[in-house]
Amino acid sequence: MSEFIKETVVTKENVVASAEPRAKGEAPQKVYDKKKIIVRFDQTVWYVLGVIEVLLIFRLALKALGANPMAGFTSIVYGITNPLIIPFRGILGVFVSGNSVIDWSTVIAALVYLVVAWGLVYLIDLIYPITPKDVET
C-alpha cells in the first residue's frame, strides 16, 4: 500500500504543504525513473505507429495512383507493408478502376493498428497514471 508523505516548503510569503503519494520506502529517484520509462514507452509506441501509418499511407497512395510495382521505391513499400496487411486481406473487396486500386485491407489495417496502439498506451496509463505535472518535472 502507498502512504502519503507530507513535504513542507517554506517560502517568503507562506508555507505550502504538498502531499504526494509514494510507495513506502521508495526513493524519489526510483519514482522518477519509473515514470520516465512509462513516458518513453508511450512515446515509442506512438513513434512506431507513426512509421507504420506513413508506410500504409504510401502503399494506399501508390496503389490508388497505379504506380509501377517494379519500380524501386514502390517495391520496397509493398515489400515492407505486405506482412502488415496480410491478416486483413479478404475482409472487404478491392476497388479497381483502370490502373488504380483501392485496397480496403490497407485502410482496415491502418485503423486496427491505430486502435491497438491507443489501447496499449491507454492501458499502461490506467495501470501507471502520470499527470501532466509529472511529465513537466
DSSP 86-130: GGGTTSS-EEEETTEEEEHHHHHHHHHHHHHHHHHHHHHHHHS--
pLDDT of 40-54, one tens digit each? 999 999 999 999 999
Mean pLDDT over 50-68 rounds to 94
Mean pLDDT over 121-130 rounds to 88
If one compares 4 and 27, the residue with the highest pLDDT of the two is: 27
Residue 74 backbone class (left: φ over 0; alpha: ψ -120 to 50; beta: rest): alpha
Which of 17-26, 65-74, 86-95 comes out lowest in average pLDDT?
Answer: 17-26
The pLDDT value given to residue 136: 66
